[in-house]
Amino acid sequence: MAIQQAAPTEVKAIDCLHYIDGKYVPSLDGKTFDNVNPATGEKIGIVAEGGKQEVDLAVQAARKALNGPWKKMSANDRIAVIRRIGDIILERKDELAALESLDTGKPFWLSSSIDIPRSAYNFHFFADYLRSLGTEAYQMDDVAINYAIRRPVGVVGLINPWNLPLLLLTWKLAPCLAAGNTAVLKPAELTPMTATVLGEICSDAGVPDGVVNIVHGFGPNSAGSALTEHPDVNAISFTGETTTGKIIMAAAAKTLKRLSYELGGKNPNIIFADSNLDEVIETTLKSSFVNQGEVCLCGSRIYVERSVYDQFLTKFVARTKELVVGDPFDPKTKIGALVSEEHYERVTGYIELAKQEGGQILTGGRRPEGLDKGFFLEPTIIVGLDRSCRVVKEEIFGPVVTVIPFDTEEEVIDQANDTHYGLSASIWTNDLRRAHRVAAQIEAGIIWVNTWFLRDLRTPFGGMKQSGIGREGGMHSFEFYSELSNICIKL
């Protein structure tokens, strides 16, 4: 996986306040909820619980800031401020990575080598992208000339999940700021710490007060729904579950907000017999189990061509058994804890369901020996299920994969597409023509051939079907975060 790094043992969990108009503030009624470390099950801090009133204050601050120094700042200065946020994230990398691991249960080597550096890079990337950003111009013979100008959408609500807390939040915030908007962030209730620190980082980088606001809380009847219902919020960018997306769409419809959605997935990993099996297995270990399988892009449905099915399973099971599950701060650990007790119950519930549906568990399915506290689960491989089973159809979002053999290209395409999700897919083959042919028929927004999770931030990122609406990345993010006005001049 990645280079192992020693964790800073001195980093302690923090209590989380809201960040509104450049100040850290408690809830008006003093309400809080507990923050729990998933690796121990113990309370590590408290989090301010916001609702309508705190969201209202944050939205007011964001609206005021739209027309303040932020608006007057030159593009060059804005680029410098946004780049500086990335720089400070890198300067504080180990501290942020430790907080991320305390919150999520993910290994420290993962948060320090992927989550936090990628969060910094999101700011560097979108700041740099802004330099070359243009618009359209069309001449109508000698009659008229059209050109478009770009302006901010306004106040944008950014609602985030818990699996890659700072990475996904910054993936939204960086282009949102680059396009000149102001933001109200609603971090996931399970993972509030790095978002909280981001307020201070933005301030230190020179972001004017009110441009970035953070309100903690839950979804329904809490900060989340208050944000989606607020009449002065112009757009919502949401990453989370498909079912939540449906609720938010209904709430946002009342004020016709612009929406960007990155939702759930049940991604196929299609392995043809002509692929390099050793390479397949090393990457499939990651695409199945990295971050405890809590990545929306994880390939949880593995389809293997029948002639190499047994060989694949033998090697895949053996390598999976070698993955060390345990303390996120132990450098030997490959798989940390699931994010919460509730999620642990949900994932293990699917393992029980797999047994009822006739599945056979080849490895995993249990809490590892000696890890009595925290929400640890062995990486789990299930066979013997078919496309009619719920375990094959529904997103589990944990270290659980199903492996199913196939005989023909047509059959595997049909199975891969037999889902209402359409986020990502991996195809493994050394046959060039087949790679193109199959990729064009798989219903997913992100398709990898002979790899997984390889990302160029300029490319369109997002899902088809019920996995999302719109795309993020490069130009696509700027399209969402800007309003275009066409100006037509008669010559």
Nearer to ligand NAD by Cβ, of 51 and 326: the residue is 51
Q: How many CB atoms sit inside 10 A of residue 408's CB? A: 10
Cβ–Cβ < 8 Å for 238, 262: yes
Cα atoms in the Cβ-side hemisphere of radius 13 Å centred on 52: 3
CB of 233 to ligand NAD, least distance (A): 11
Does 240 contact ligand NAD by CB under 6 A? yes
Choice between 219 and 374, CB closer to ligand NAD: 219
Check residue 448 for interaction with ligand NAD (CB under 6 A).
Answer: no
* Cβ nearer to ligand NAD, comparing 87 with 241: 241
* CB count in 10 Å sphere of residue 398: 25
Selected binder of ligand NAD within 170, 213, 239, 284 (CB under 6 A): 239
Catalytic annotation on 296? yes
Which one, 105 or 240, has the nearer CB to ligand NAD?
240
**Contact stretch for ligand NAD (CB under 6 A) within 83-91, 237-245, 375-383, 400-408:** 237-245
195 binds ligand NAD (CB under 6 A): no
The residue count for binding ligand NAD (CB under 6 A) is 31
Work out whether 268 is an interface residue with ligand NAD (CB under 6 A).
no
3-class SS of residue 146:
strand
Angle (CA) 204 206 209, round 5°:
95
**Under rule CB under 6 A, residue 186 binds ligand NAD:** yes
**Distance of alpha carbon 26 from the chain centroid:** 27
Alpha carbon distance 39, 384 (integer Å): 32
Closer to ligand NAD by CB, 107 or 326: give it: 107
Determine, following the binding rule CB under 6 A, whether residue 162 of this chain makes contact with ligand NAD. Answer: yes
State which of residues 188, 383, 435, 457 lies at the interface with ligand NAD (CB under 6 A).
188
CA proximity to 30, closest of 54, 13, 12: 54
Nearer to ligand NAD, 86 or 264 (CB): 264
Residue nearest to ligand NAD (CB): 219
Distance CA 252, CA 234 (A): 9
How far is CA 116 from each of CA 104, 123, 168, 174, 262, rounded to the nearest angstrom? 13, 11, 10, 14, 20
**163 part of the interface to ligand NAD, by CB under 6 A:** yes
**Least distance from ligand NAD to the Cβ atom of residue 471, Å:** 10
Least Å distance, CB 220 to ligand NAD, is: 4
Site string for ligand NAD, 111-150 (x = CB under 6 A): ----------------------------------------
- How far apart (Å, rounded) are the C-alpha atoms in residues 8 and 95? 7
- Burial-class residue 126 by CB neighbours within 10 Å (0-12, 13-18, 19+): buried
> First-to-last CA distance in the chain?
61
Q: Verify binding: residue 330, ligand NAD, rule CB under 6 A.
A: no
Q: Which residues pair with 144 in a beta bridge?
A: 140, 490
Q: CA angle 131-137-138, nearest 5°? A: 165
Q: Which of 16, 202, 296, 389 is catalytic?
A: 296
Among residues 153, 248, 270, 382, the one that binds ligand NAD under rule CB under 6 A: 248
Instruction: Answer yes or no: are the C-beta atoms of 445 and 422 closer than 8 Å.
Output: yes
Q: Which of 111, 119, 244, 284 binds ligand NAD (CB under 6 A)?
A: 244
**Which C-beta is closer to ligand NAD: that of 221 or that of 486?**
221
| C-alpha separations of 18 from 196, 217, 447 in Å | 7, 9, 38
Asked if residue 263 binds ligand NAD (CB under 6 A), the reply is: yes
**365 in contact with ligand NAD (CB under 6 A):** no
Contact between 312 and 469 (Cβ < 8 Å): no
Binder among 86, 265, 299, 422 for ligand NAD (CB under 6 A): 265
Q: Which is nearer to ligand NAD, 37 or 160 (CB)?
A: 160
208 lies in the binding site for ligand NAD (CB under 6 A): no
Q: How far is the CB of 166 from ligand NAD (least distance, A)?
A: 13
Residue 431, phi-psi category: left (phi > 0), alpha (psi -120 to 50), beta (remainder): beta
The binder of ligand NAD chosen from 161, 328, 359, 379 (CB under 6 A): 161
463: contact with ligand NAD by CB under 6 A: yes
Tokens of 109: 């080597």
Residue length of the chain: 491
Amino acid identity at 269: N
* Alpha carbon distance 142, 144 (integer Å): 6
The residue within the footprint of ligand NAD, chosen from 468, 470, 473, 474 (CB under 6 A), is 468
- For tokens 């990651």, the residue is 286
Q: Which of 49, 100, 189, 262 is catalytic?
A: 262
CA 209 to chain centre: 27
Q: What does the binding site for ligand NAD look like in residue numbers (CB under 6 A)?
A: 159-163, 168, 186, 188-189, 218-220, 224-225, 228, 239-241, 244, 247-248, 262-265, 296, 395, 397, 423, 463, 468
Active site members: 262, 296
